[in-house]
Structure 1
Amino acid sequence: MGSDSRLRADSSNVATIVVRRIATFSTVAATLACMNFLDRLHDRIRTVDSVVSVGLDPDPSRIPDHLADYDLPRWAFNRRIIDATHEHAAVYKPNAAFYEDPDGWAALEETIAYAHGKDVPVLLDAKRADIGNTTRQYAKVLETVDAITVNPYMGRDSLQPFLADEESGVFVLCRTSNPGGADLQDLGLETGEAVYERVAALADLWNENDNVGLVVGATNPDELEDLREQVPDLPFLVPGVGAQGGDAEAAITYGLANGVGLVNSSRGIIFAGENQGEGFATASGRAAKRLKTRLNEYRD
């Protein structure tokens, strides 16, 4: 066989392999897409033996200088973080606030696709909710991410398009980790409940598609315990364990429902190597592994 013939044969074989791999990937993707988010999350937690949520909040002022000349520095930063941490990540949680400009949206799109390529679900921390027509537009983001955080202040109708998506996760802000959360969330109602307790009760009622969880900060361990007693089957997304110094043991003891839940660290992981130049991502990988190991000490 001549060299041209061999080249054509080799090219044909490569094309066949590529087509087969694409078909296999498409089949797997279609199967995963049909699974409820919490089922997918359970599988991911089991695969990596981790409940760590890595927050991808690429503050431009803290991105290493050697990435500044890239077309999309935030994407260049995130890609290196994902490469270093994906073996320890149950999900990635990009906060929408760090991407709300033209280059940022492009960086977020690349980040989501890359995380999915590593088989890691993406939970967009967007805290969305609005009147019907507007919130339907917000909910379209669920076509590209696996789960989202939402704000319950406007009531069920403002969240309905998210709640109705059976395959996506919806994490409702309940008792947040910021100091000012108590201004409203701790207010007492005539029923004797605090506002955050009413939110938990409503979220439990809204969980008709088994796709709802709560956002409950690790900086409030007593509230974590109370809420777990109140809603035993809802998984929690627990921020505040990293830079905010929350209670890791309480996050695991009360944050997981049937083994499913998430403990988030953003700055504590992605900026662990802030002063290490090109070694920043390696430091982030070590930080993610340390958090996983620390949390696993308290898991059953």
Structure 2
Amino acid sequence: MTRKELFEQIKKKESFLCVGLDTDLSKIPPHLLDTKDPIFEFNKQIIDATADYCVAYKPNIAFYECLGAKGWESLQKTLEYIPKDIFTIADAKRGDIGNTSRMYAQAFFENMNFDSVTVAPYMGNDSVTPFLEFDNKWVILLALTSNQGGLDFQMHELTNGKRLFEEVLTKSQEWGSTDQLMYVVGATRAESLLDIRKYAPDHFLLVPGVGAQGGDLASVAKYGMNDHCGLLVNSSRGIIYASNGEDFDEQAQNAAQTLQQEMKVLLAEYLK
């Protein structure tokens, strides 16, 4: 999916919502456990309930690969079920030496046909650029994450006066353009989006942490939105686990619609 196509979907749906498919067998409604493929059945009903309100889905790969071959099968079926006009993110956080990264890129872009994959930047250029060699595919590079441990390294000041995450933003833009490179910035660090935008004013940002993690959507839009929206705000647990009962899909729909309505107001305010 191109940058233009993604922005068109945002305008069409009046939404920049990404739904995280962190599907955990221990958390899905018990009545689904007797189905042939509980993971896929859960995802299928979540997608049916939320597709009108989101522009992206983000399966967290760990929740599938921990189940072995059956988990990968559930993931592939999920990916194929997602409507083709919705952006797909393989939240895999890959990154290794060049020939290994090339195999990861082929796995997610050629074999599974995701639109994008999350990548860790700390092995540098040759670990990231193999993912950038595919037409209309995206690298979503970890920049400033929302987990507590993210502060261990990402905010450290370097000898050139930049903090480490700022150096990641600066250096990585030598590798790819705004049409193929996004950044992960946690919603619980919303004020830091001002700093992110100093270094990456035009890039799309994937912003996890709204909902169960406590991130504030209005603050994310205030500090992070640009003239092409430039945001994909993810909610996982707050939507897919809104209920553990037989009404889980209905409650997921309500949660997604609530966020979409908030996003509609913010888009009207900032994209004048």
- TM-score class normalised by the smaller sequence: over 0.9
Find out whether 1:185 has 2:187 as its counterpart: no
Q: TM-score, normalised by structure 1?
A: 0.84
Question: 1:99-126, CA deviations, whole angstroms, 9 ceiling, x for partnerless residues?
Answer: 0021111110011000035x32211111
The amino acid that maps onto 1:65 is: P
Find out whether 1:104 has 2:74 as its counterpart: no
Unaligned segments of structure 1, at least 5 residues = 1-34
Distance in 2 (CA, whole Å) between partners of 1:216 and 1:209 is 16
Q: Give 1:226's aligned residue.
A: 195
Deviation at 1:82, TM superposition (A): 0.1
Distance in 2 (CA, whole Å) between partners of 1:218 and 1:154 is 25
Contact 1:256 1:262 in 2 (8 A): no
Find out whether 1:121 has 2:90 as its counterpart: no
Deviation at 1:97, TM superposition (A): 0.5
- Bigger RCO (CA 8 Å, 6+ sep): 2
Distance in 2 (CA, whole Å) between partners of 1:230 and 1:297 is 27
Question: 1:134-182, CA deviations, whole angstroms, 9 ceiling, x for partnerless residues?
Answer: 1111001112111111100100100111112231111100000111100
Distance in 2 (CA, whole Å) between partners of 1:219 and 1:58 is 22
Deviation at 1:131, TM superposition (A): 0.8
Q: TM-score, normalised by structure 2?
A: 0.92
Deviation at 1:188, TM superposition (A): 1.0
Deviation at 1:223, TM superposition (A): 1.2
Structure of higher CA gyration radius: 1
Contact 2:14 2:263 in 1 (8 A): no
Q: Give 1:290's aligned residue.
A: 258
Question: 1:246-294, CA deviations, whole angstroms, 9 ceiling, x for partnerless residues?
Answer: 12122223333322320000000000112xx211011000000111112
Contact 2:178 2:204 in 1 (8 A): no
State the identity as a percent: 44
Distance in 1 (CA, whole Å) between partners of 2:192 and 2:129 is 26
Unaligned segments of structure 2, at least 5 residues = none
Distance in 2 (CA, whole Å) between partners of 1:260 and 1:149 is 17
2:53 counterpart (88, 92, 97): 88
Distance in 2 (CA, whole Å) between partners of 1:197 and 1:281 is 40
Deviation at 1:59, TM superposition (A): 1.0
Deviation at 1:209, TM superposition (A): 6.7
Contact 1:189 1:195 in 2 (8 A): yes
Distance in 2 (CA, whole Å) between partners of 1:237 and 1:208 is 16
Instruction: State the SS of the aligned residue for 1:282.
Output: helix
Distance in 2 (CA, whole Å) between partners of 1:39 and 1:147 is 15
1:1-300 aligned at under 5 Å gives the runs: 36=2, 38-100=3-65, 101-117=68-84, 119-140=85-106, 141-143=108-110, 144-208=113-177, 210-257=179-226, 258-274=228-244, 277-299=245-267, 300=270
Distance in 2 (CA, whole Å) between partners of 1:186 and 1:284 is 35
Q: Give 1:6's aligned residue.
A: none
The amino acid that maps onto 1:114 is: Y
| CA distance 1:232–1:187, shift in 2 (3 Å) | same
Q: Cα RMSD (Å) of the superposition?
A: 1.4
